[in-house]
Structure 1
Amino acid sequence: MYVSSIRSADPARPASRSKHAVQGTVIGLGVVSLITDLSAEMVTAVLPLYLVYGLGVGFLQLGAIDGLYTGATALLRLAGGYFADRLGRPKAVALVGYGLSAATKLAFPAAGSSLGAIGLVIGADRAGKGIRTAPRDAMITLATPADGLGRAFGVHRAMDTAGALLGPLAAFGLLTVLVGDYPAVFGVSFCFAVIAVIVLAVFVRAPAGAVERSRVRLRAGFALLREPGLRGTCLAAALLGVCTVGDMFLFVGVQRSAGLPPGALPLLPLATALTFMALASPIGRLADRLGQWKVFLAGHVVLLAAYVVLAASATGWLVAVVVLAAHGVFYACTDGVLMAHAAPHVPESLRATGLAFVQTGQALARAAGAVLFGVLAAGMALGPAFAVFAVALLVSVLAGSRMA
């Protein structure tokens, strides 16, 4: 019911814009995401090492923390999307989210070894991510023609992942030079996060047509779920999300299954990030040609193969490389591709809200999946837990092929 309105001409947009040209707004947001992810991944890279080997956290507690890390963004994604549409100011709302995440970097040293305090800081950091994600993605879709969305999101995610690649390297270098000085990692992370906020505020322009105040009502946002395409996408993304193991568990699983030393944990995200960065743009273009949903499901099939390898408890560096590369392919096929698939089902006046519904369902499902995996791993060990999730993911992929 909404697709025709989205494809109609928009006088506020430049007529010469081509699907082959990535807009300046997308590049600017990519730079912001690159710097932000460098900052965020400095912290993320050291968390499993710190929690598992520093504080002696068990699988059950790690599952709860991993679930919090994923799920804390959920409801605030809806709030960020709604206020971006309601105020007609997606850039301003995104700035609030980026600023909140930046401020939390200084709170990590104060949390010390308290799991409760660490949980609160992680929750605040992820809340900032939740607020900014839908407005940022809405700005990308508003600046890009519908037939170039896969490419635009691919370029953005490639730049985003370049930061994710540099973050663990920076954290590993600091910890090596300063011999385990975690406060230094958090301090440098904060500085990068502030730079990202400044770049967004000063150098990124909101796309044309996105700055006028809208009379969006919350119930109009919920009415979007009556549109079959968007509703099916939300349900399928949530079903697949609950069968997705959290990143922390996957990295710990690789380290233990492959027999790698604990000190290798901060470096494992690099293989995922390198693969993601290299493939995000070409897979985005492929998704524009073949269909975003087909590519999205294919990414989950690749992830399923990684789970099978971990369930088999194979050892060695080659196993680690294969699993982490598959993890990167999964992200290249899903992160951004899902938003490119969902955007044409949402009118521009409700774009951020509609994308937030999809993101929220997926985030809540992944949080539940992380907690469930923690329970299974605590009771069955890692290998059998990955086997159970592999079977569940296979069933979900088959169901998802019929839902959207």
Structure 2
Amino acid sequence: MKQTTRAPGATLRLPAGIWVLGCVSMLMDVSSEMIHALLPVYLTAGLGATALAVGVIEGIAEATAAITKVFSGALSDRIGRRKELAALGYGLAALTKPVFPLASSIGWVIAARFIDRIGKGIRGAPRDALVADLAPEGLRGAAFGLRQSLDTLGAFLGPLLAIGLMALFANDFRSVFWVAVIPAVLAFVLILTAVREPPRSPDLRPVRHPLSRAELRLLGKPYWWIVAVAALFTLARFSEAFLILRAEDSGLPLMLLPLVFVGMNAVYALSAWPVGVVSDRTGRAGLLAVGLGLLVVADLVLALAQGLPGLAAGVLLWGLHMGFTQGVLAALVAESVPAELRGTAFGMVNLVTGLALLLASVIAGALWQGFGAEWTFLAGAGFAAISLVALLPLSRRLGTAGRKA
């Protein structure tokens, strides 16, 4: 698909459904990040878990979501509908949020995180395919960037609320977790009532077996190159729970630990939409390379810099690398595959990256426990550098995928 030059205000004319989906993501992220910003310390300080256990829990949780995305994405292609599956995923996540304040042991927290991530897995691929279906031609980078920015705005507001509520409730984790139930329920109600799925085009062929070898072959070589690069990239990105542990290690007070996610997500939210707009006009691969370079620098700063200023710089750079990569990768996936297989495509890439995240988080936890925090982030910088080198010979192919799909 040839890229189209758009007027500066063109992104404001994105369909209302994309804005609503962004707001749904924002509300759910407010809820999730209120919990996630406190969960690593709650596990280690409150329930006696080790850093390795945190890595395993986070890795398993994200891998669970990734595996579920494969089947929900494929199912959305088979039935030709996205909204119902996305709503089911948001509903399940809202339903399981009360488990966190009720948990009395690590086992309960693992169960809650596991079920919550199943909800994320069910909604993820169909929602992203729905964004691609709703986005006008030539504005997919802007559409995914907008959804990512609104999603990340929720991830910015959630920790801020957690900080205020921790002060209000005198460091009572469970009370904060109860308040987090409210935006999750609002997200579910919003997607049910305010999102309208576009009618399926009669030109699209029906897909009866989306996960069959024949259908997966139809995804095409450019798509599988994107998957390979995304997998390498994910190995460099362990769970952000380790940013919280690094902040605690650097001396940040308990009540202020959610500021790590506030700072990271503020930069992420501010950069994702503009980067998506730029990618519609200039191509995707170069922006991915910039994002990987930013991750290398972020990891080196977090490994080697001392004190809270170094921590702040590393966290902000981490957020910027997310803004340069996540929406761009989603747009590449959407544009590199046939429209009737978008759900399957998003599901497969999320499966591969989810398994890579599981491995990365376990490695990060083992390095932290065995050698110290510095080695966790140095290993991340090494993987990011390898990913950057691997991207260089693929950049021409990735650029072609972004322009011609």
- Conserved 8 A contact 1:34-1:161: yes
1:230, distance to aligned residue in structure 2 (A): 0.7
Q: Describe the shift of the 1:325–1:210 C-alpha distance in structure 2 as closer, same or farther (beyond 3 A).
A: farther
Q: Could you tell me how far apart the structure 1 residues matched to 2:362 and 2:73 are?
A: 26
Is contact 1:225–1:231 with CA below 8 Å preserved after alignment?
Answer: no
Q: Which residue does 2:296 correspond to in 1?
A: 304
SS across alignment from 2:13? coil
Retained in 1: the 8 A contact 2:367–2:376? yes
For residues 43 and 260 of structure 1, the distance between their equivalents in structure 2, rounded to whole angstroms, comes to 18
Counterpart CA distance in 2 for 1:321 and 1:361 is 31
Letter in 1 for 2:339: E
Corresponding residue for 1:177? Answer: 168
Deviations 1:155-211 (A, max 9, x none): 111111111111111122222112233332222222211111111000111123279
CA shift, 1:309, in A, is 1.1
The answer to whether the 8 A contact 1:346-1:354 is kept is yes
Aligned to 1:219: 212
Residues of 2 paired with 1:226 and 1:348: CA distance? 10
How far does residue 297 in structure 1 lie from its aligned partner after superposition? 2.7
Identity %: 33
The verdict on how the C-alpha distance between 1:34 and 1:396 changes in structure 2, with shifts beyond 3 A counting, is same
Residues 101, 124 of structure 1: 8 Å contact kept? yes
CA contact (8 A) 1:66 1:370 kept: yes
With the length of structure 2 as denominator, give the TM-score of the two structures.
0.90
Could you report, residue by residue, the CA deviation over 1:233-280 in whole angstroms, capped at 9, with x for unpaired residues?
Answer: 111111111121210012322442x43233321221000111111111
Deviation at 1:385, TM superposition (A): 2.5
AA aligned opposite 1:58: T
Within the alignment, does 1:69 sit opposite 2:56 as a pair? Answer: no
Change (3 A) 1:301 1:356: same
How far 1:151 moved relative to its partner? 0.8
CA distance in 2, matches of 1:104, 1:85: 27
Equivalences for residues 145-164 of structure 1 within 5 A: 145-164=136-155
Matches within 5 A, 1:243-322: 243-256=236-249, 258-312=250-304, 314-322=305-313
Q: If the length of structure 1 is used for normalisation, what is the TM-score?
A: 0.90
Map of 2:135 onto structure 1 = 144
Q: Within 5 Å, which residues of 2 pair with 1:89-100?
A: 89-100=81-92
CA contact (8 A) 2:163 2:256 kept: no
Structure 2 residue 230 is the aligned partner of structure 1 residue 240: no
Amino acid at match of 1:231: W
Q: C-alpha displacement at 1:226, in angstroms?
A: 5.9
Indicate whether 1:45 and 2:37 are aligned. yes
In the alignment, residue 295 of structure 1 is paired with which amino acid?
L
Q: Is the 8 A contact 1:30 1:156 kept in 2?
A: yes
Gapped runs of 5+ residues in structure 1?
8-17
SS of residue paired to 1:352: helix
Partners of 2:127 and 2:107 in 1: how far apart?
Answer: 30
Letter of the structure 1 residue corresponding to residue 251 of structure 2: G
Correspondence for 2:124: 133
CA distance in 2, matches of 1:182, 1:378: 25
1:342 aligns with 2:298: no
Q: Which residue of 1 aligns with 2:187?
A: 196
Give the root-mean-square deviation of aligned CA atoms: 2.2
Q: Distance in 2 between matches of 1:359 and 1:210?
A: 26
Partner of 2:389 in structure 1? 398
Cα gap change, 1:222/1:369 in structure 2, threshold over 3 Å: closer, same or farther?
farther
Question: In structure 1, what is the equivalent of residue 6 of structure 2?
Answer: none
Contact 2:101 2:175 in 1 (8 A): no
Matched-pair contact (CA < 8 Å) for 2:11–2:139: yes
What secondary structure is seen at the aligned counterpart in 2 of 1:74? helix
Q: Secondary structure at the match of 2:124?
A: helix
Letter in 2 for 1:144: A
**Residues 219 and 336 in structure 2, CA contact (< 8 A), matched pair in contact too:** no
- Secondary structure (helix, strand or coil) at the match of 2:272 reads helix
Match of 2:79 among 87, 90, 115: 87
Please identify, of 232-241 and 178-187, the stretch whose mean Cα deviation from structure 2 is larger.
178-187
Q: Could you tell me which runs of 5 or more consecutive residues in structure 2 were left unpaired when the two chains were aligned.
A: 4-9, 399-405
Count of aligned positions: 388
How far 1:19 moved relative to its partner?
6.2
Whether the aligned pair in 2 keeps the contact of 1:19 and 1:147 (CA below 8 Å) is no
Q: Secondary structure at the match of 1:335?
A: helix
One-letter amino acid of the counterpart of residue 251, structure 1: I
- Matching residue of 1:14: none
Q: Give 1:135 deviation, angstroms.
A: 0.7
